[in-house]
Amino acid sequence: MTNQQEELAYLFGLEEKWQRIWEEQHIFESTPDSRKKFFATYPYSYMNGLPHIGHAFTALRVDFQCRYRRMLNYNVLFPFAFHCTGVPIVAAARRIAEGEPRQLQIMRSMGISPAEIVNFSDPVYWTIYFPEKWERSMRRLGMSIDWRRKFITTHLNRSYDSFVRWQFTVLKERNYVRMGSHPVIWCPKDNIPVGDHDRLSGEGETPTEYTLLKFRTGEDDFIITATLRPETSYGQTNIWVNPAVEYARCSVGNETWIVSHECCAKLKEQGKTVRELGTVSGSSLIGKEVYSFTMKKWIPILPASFADPAKGTGIVTSVPSDSPDDYAALKDLKAEAESGKIESGLAQVVRKLVPIEIIDTPGYGSLPAKLVIERMAIGSQKEREKLDRAREEIYREGYYNGTMLKSSGIYSGMNVSKARELIKERLRKEGVADIFYEPSGEVVCRCLTRCIVKVVENQWFMAYGDTEWKKLAHDAVSSMSFYPDFMKKQFDNVIDWLNDWACVHHTGLGTELPWDSTWKIESLSDSTIYMAYYTISEIIQNGRNTSERQMGREFFDYVFLGSGSRAKAASSSGFDEETVESMRREFLYWYPLDLRNSGKDLVGNHLTFCIFNHVAIFPREHWPRAYGVNGWITISGSKMSKSAGNTLNLETALQKFGADVTRLTEAYADEGFNDPNWDQDFADSAPRRLIQLIENARMAVGLDSSAPDYIDRWMISSVNLIYSSYRNFMDNMMHKSAVKSCLLDMQNSLRWYSRRKQGLLNRDVMKHFVRMQALMLAPFTPHVCEEIWEIIGGEGSICSQLLPEPSSLDIDHSSLAAEDYLENVISDVQEILRVTGIRPKRITLIVAEEWKRKLLEFEYRNLTEEASEMRKKIGRSDPKGLERALKTIARERQQGRLTAMVETAMKIDEYGCLSENSSFLSGQFGCEIRIMKAEQAGSDEFSRKREISFPSKPAIYAE
C-alpha cells in the first residue's frame, strides 16, 4: 500500500468485516456457565453530549481487561447503559427553548443542524438522541459489550425506576437515608441542590465549614472574618480590609455585623436572620482598631487588595507567621511604609507589627510563612499562583504534623488537628465565633449561575457521615484491589472526610422518592448499585417495552437479597416463577462486580458512594472487588477543553483513524493515575505499524521451514520473555507498558532477528512470533489481530483463544544475555566511530581479565571475605587496576546499572561470544574484527585499552 489513505481504507474495511462477524456469532453476549466469571463496568456516562476520547480512554481500559480475561478462559460480562437522570438535561433543554447563544453553539459544535436543535427543547429528546449516538460510536470502536443489557435511566424506564425505588426503600428502612438540616451546594437561580452531575464546573467541590471570628469595633459593631484555621487566631497581628470595597452593615440576630454584601446574601441562606442597615466603605475602616477576643487586645485594620468580597466575609484575619498571603501582604505594606507611600501614622503602626510564633511544624519551624516565601522567591502579594501553592503546602503540613506553642496558652504542646476542634468549640461557646459555609472551590450550575452553600431544612440525605457506616465502607476498601494500588489509601481518606449528602431535589429527570413524590432522587444517588441491575436487565427487557413494566418490593428482595418467596416475587413483577428464578441465578453468578474503572473525578463521589451503598444493602460476598482509576486525557500534552479548541470527539477520531488506531493510541496514552496524553504523532504512524503486522503474517506463511539454529532459539526465547512481561503488565492494568512490550519490543526483536539471520528467516519461528504478537495485541487492536489470525490459519475468533501459561514456554536466558551483550557491543562501537569519525580497517575488542569478573561478583553479592582476599591479591600485583575497577563498580552501582552488568558477566562467556560472532561483526562494520583477552594485550599498543576493559564492557580499539 502506497499511502496512509489507502492503509486507512483497508483498516476500515477490516473493522466492518470483523464487527459484522462478532455480531453474527454473538461473541460478546454472556450467559452463566461453568467457567470463572469476570464482570466489569464503566460508569454510565451522562447523555448530554457526544463521547470524546476521554470517555473512550476510560471505557477502553475496561474493554482491554475484558478481552484479556476472555483469553484467560473467564466468562466475561461487559454491559453498558445511558445515564439520563438529573438536572443537566432539563437545564440545557430550557436554555435551548430560551435561545441561549452558548447552548446553541454547543449543539452546533456537535454537528447538530439548526433544524434539529429545536427538538432538544424537549428533555425526552435527549434521552433518545444521545444514547443512539453513544451506542453507534462504542460499537464502531469495537467494544466487547453485551448490548442486550443496555438501558436508559429515568422514570421513562419503569423497570429501572422500580429498581431505584426499591434501593431507596431499603436504605431508608436501614436508616441510611435521613431527614435533617444540612449545608449543600445550591443554585440560587434554580433553587435546588446542585450535585456533581448538575454542574458546568466545580465537580467534586463540597460545602466547607469556616469559622466566623468576631472583632468588636469602638462602636460596638462586630467586624467579621472567616477562617479555615481558628487555631491560628493566637497569632493575629491585624485584620485586612479591601479599601476599594463597599461593605454591608447588617443586623444578624441581635448583633450588628460588618461583612461584604455578598456574604450578607449567603448568611440569609444559612439560617441567619439578616437585615441590611447600610454600607461602610472599606477605606473608612483603614487605621481603626478592633478588639480580638483571642489575643485579648486591640489590633489594627490594614489595607489589602487580596481581600475578596465574594469569598468568606470579604474581610481577613492576618496571621503572618503561618499564612503566606498575610506575610506577603505585610511585607508589601512595610515596604510602602518605608518608602513613604502611606501616611505616617499608619506607617508607624505597620512598622511595629511582627509575626507571632504559634505553631511548630517539622521542616518549617515556627515561622513557616517566612520560610516558604523566601524559598519560593515570592516577591509580592500579587503572585497569586505561587502563594496558592505555598498556602496549600503549609496548611497541609501544619495540620497533620504541627504542634501548638506556648502562645496558644492551654493548647500548648497539642497537635494542631486536635487543637483546632477544641479552639473552635470554645470560641463558639463564648459567643465570639460562628459557623459559615462556602464551596471548597468555585461551582457553576449548568444554568450558568455561580453556586453558594445553603443550609437546607427538612432535606433528605444519605448519611455518609455515620460512623458505623464508614466502618463498613473501610472494611470493603480493605478487601478490594485498586489500580494503581496507592488509590486504596485515597479511598480511605475520602470515606473519612465524606459527610452527609443531599440525595433529592425538586426538578430534573429522575425517580420520585418512594415515600414522598414531591422529591426526585438526584443523579449521583440513583447510580450507586445499578451494576446489579445489569445482571437481570436482558431478561427483564427481552424485547419488551420496559416502560410498561414496574416491579414491586418483593421481586427485588428475592432476586438481589434472596429474601421472601419466589411466588411473591413473581406476583409483584408479572414474571412467571421460572423467569424470576433465572434472574436470581444470573445475579448470583455474576455478582459481585470484579472491576469498575473510572476517571479520577469520580473518586470523591460516585465511586465512594458505590462502596457505601453496596455495604449498606448487600452481604459481604457481593461487595465490589476492584476499582481502576485513571487521569484526564490531554492532547499532545495540552489539557483537552472546548475553549482551547482541542476537544477530540470519539466519532471524529474514528472517522479519521478508525477503531484499531484509536484504540492503540488510547492504550499508549498512559497508565496508572497519570493524565494520559493522546500522542498525535503516534496516531499518525499507527496505520503503517498495523499494516506492517499484517504484511509480516503474510510473509511468515510464505517462508520455508528449516532446522532451528542458535539465533532461532534466541528469537523464540525473546518472544516468550516479552510475553511473560506482557502478562504481568496486563494483570496490573498497565496497558501502555503492555503495548510497549507486544508492539515496540516485539518489533525490535524482529529487527534484530532479521539482522542476525541476514534475511533468511525461519518459517516456524516467524509463525510463532506472529501468533504470539497477535494474541498479545488482540485486546488493543482486535480487528487487525482477527485478520492476522485468519491469515496464519488460526481456528475461530482470536477473541476466544486461550493465552498460554508463561511457565509453559521455553526461555533460554543464556542466549538472551549473549544477544543483548552483542547488541550493546555493536552500539558502543558505533558510538565511538561516530564521535571519532574513524573509518576503521580493523577493530579490536579486548575482554576484561578474569579477576575483574570475580571481583565484580564478590562486591555485588557482598561476599566480604572473598572480596577482601581478592583486593589484597590484586592490590599487590596491579594496585592501579584495582583502584580503577572499584571506582567503576561504585559508579555503576550508583547509576543503577550494576545488577545488569553482573547478570551479563555471570551468564555468558564474553570471549567465546565475540569470537563466534566475529564474522557477523565484521559484516556489520565492513572491516577486520579481532577478539583478544586482556591478559594477551601486553603490548604498548593495547595496554591502555586493556586497563579500561571491564566485565560486559570490552575495551574497543579502532584503527
Confidence of residue 181 (pLDDT cuts 50, 70, 90): confident
- 17 CB-contact burial (10 Å; exposed 0-12 / middle 13-18 / buried 19+): middle
**pLDDT score recorded for residue 382:** 87
Residue 746 lies in a domain: yes
Q: Which of 133-147, 881-895, 920-934 has the lowest mean pLDDT?
A: 881-895
Say if residue 285 is in the same domain as residue 392. yes
Say if residue 296 is in the same domain as residue 396. yes
CA distance 232 to 427: 13
pLDDT, tens only, 728-741: 999 999 999 999 99
Say if residue 898 is in the same domain as residue 950. yes
Return the closest-CA partner of residue 818 out of 924, 747, 905, 928.
Answer: 905
pLDDT of 889 above 80: no
**pLDDT score recorded for residue 219:** 84
The strand pairing partners of 407, in sequence order, are none
Say if residue 674 is in the same domain as residue 802. yes
CA distance 371 to 362: 12
Cβ 193 vs Cβ 452: under 8 Å: no
pLDDT, tens only, 810-828: 898 889 989 999 999 999 9
Residues 6+ apart with CB under 8 A from 902: 856, 857, 860, 951
CA distance 831 to 904: 21
| Domain end call among 812, 834, 864 | 812
Cβ 162 vs Cβ 554: under 8 Å: no
Beta strand 315-318 pairing with 238-241: antiparallel
pLDDT of 788 above 70: yes
Q: Please state at what angle helix 650-657 crosses helix 680-701, rounded to 10 degrees.
A: 40
Residue 248 lies in a domain: yes
In the three-class reduction of DSSP (H, G, I as helix; E, B as strand; rest coil), residue 35 is classed as coil
Beta strand 289-292 pairing with 222-227: unpaired
| Domain end call among 392, 408, 439 | 439
pLDDT, tens only, 572-619: 898 999 999 999 999 999 999 999 999 998 998 999 999 999 999 999
**pLDDT score recorded for residue 726:** 98
Q: Which spans in 43-156 are helix H? A: 53-70, 88-97, 101-109, 114-117, 123-140
Half-sphere exposure of 609 toward its Cβ, with a 13 Å CA cutoff?
27
| Domain end call among 757, 789, 812 | 812
**pLDDT score recorded for residue 940:** 60
CA distance 559 to 263: 51
Say if residue 257 is in the same domain as residue 380. yes
pLDDT of 156 above 90: no
Residues 6+ apart with CB under 8 A from 855: 867, 870, 871, 874, 882, 885, 886, 889
pLDDT of 548 above 90: no
Sign of CA dihedral 770, 773, 776, 777: negative
Residue 448 lies in a domain: yes
Cβ 350 vs Cβ 334: under 8 Å: yes
The arithmetic mean of pLDDT across residues 413-441, rounded, is: 93
pLDDT, tens only, 279-296: 999 999 999 999 999 999
pLDDT of 38 above 90: yes
Say if residue 367 is in the same domain as residue 457. no
pLDDT, tens only, 835-869: 999 999 999 999 988 877 777 777 767 666 666 77
CA distance 140 to 802: 25
pLDDT of 276 above 60: yes
* Number of domains within the chain: 4
pLDDT of 891 above 60: yes
Residue 358 lies in a domain: yes
For the residues of 681-743, what is the DSSP string, one character each?
HHHHHHHHHHHHHHHHHHHHHTSPP----HHHHHHHHHHHHHHHHHHHHHHTT-HHHHHIIII
The arithmetic mean of pLDDT across residues 390-406, rounded, is: 90
pLDDT of 796 above 90: yes
Cβ 11 vs Cβ 1: under 8 Å: no
Q: Where are the beta strands (DSSP E) in 463-594?
A: 481-483, 501-502, 504-505, 512-513, 516-521
- 104 CB-contact burial (10 Å; exposed 0-12 / middle 13-18 / buried 19+): middle
The C-alpha cell that represents 787 in the structure block: 485478520
Residue 529 lies in a domain: no
pLDDT of 138 above 50: yes
Residue 44 lies in a domain: no
CA distance 802 to 819: 30
Mean model confidence pLDDT for the chain: 91
CA distance 90 to 507: 8
The strand pairing partners of 192, in sequence order, are 187
Give whichever of 146-160, 779-793, 906-920 has the largest mean pLDDT. 779-793
**pLDDT score recorded for residue 874:** 66
Say if residue 862 is in the same domain as residue 924. yes
Say if residue 245 is in the same domain as residue 200. no
CATH of the domain at 871: 3.30.2320.20
pLDDT of 310 above 90: yes
**pLDDT score recorded for residue 203:** 77
**pLDDT score recorded for residue 193:** 82
Confidence of residue 547 (pLDDT cuts 50, 70, 90): very low
The domain in which residue 675 lies consists of 642-812
The larger pLDDT score, comparing residue 298 to residue 944, is at 298
The arithmetic mean of pLDDT across residues 110-124, rounded, is: 95
The arithmetic mean of pLDDT across residues 903-911, rounded, is: 83
**pLDDT score recorded for residue 412:** 95
Say if residue 186 is in the same domain as residue 211. no
Residue 594 lies in a domain: no
Share of residues in the chain with pLDDT > 90 (%)? 71
Say if residue 689 is in the same domain as residue 770. yes
Say if residue 802 is in the same domain as residue 832. no
Buried b (16+ CB within 10 A) or exposed e, 697-729: beebeeeeeeeeeebbebbbbbbbbbbebbbeb
How wide is the angle at C-alpha 732 spanned by C-alphas 730 and 733, nearest 5°? 65
Residue 391 lies in a domain: yes
**pLDDT score recorded for residue 197:** 67
- 638 CB-contact burial (10 Å; exposed 0-12 / middle 13-18 / buried 19+): exposed
The C-alpha cell that represents 458 in the structure block: 427538612
CATH of the domain at 790: 1.10.730.10
Say if residue 859 is in the same domain as residue 774. no
**pLDDT score recorded for residue 806:** 93
pLDDT, tens only, 56-87: 999 999 999 999 999 999 999 999 999 999 88
**pLDDT score recorded for residue 635:** 87
How wide is the angle at C-alpha 24 spanned by C-alphas 22 and 25, nearest 5°? 65
Q: Which of 143-147, 168-172, 538-542, 684-688 has the lowest mean pLDDT?
A: 538-542
Confidence of residue 645 (pLDDT cuts 50, 70, 90): low
Confidence of residue 113 (pLDDT cuts 50, 70, 90): very high
Which amino acid is it at 182?
A: H
pLDDT of 798 above 90: yes
CATH of the domain at 393: 3.90.740.10
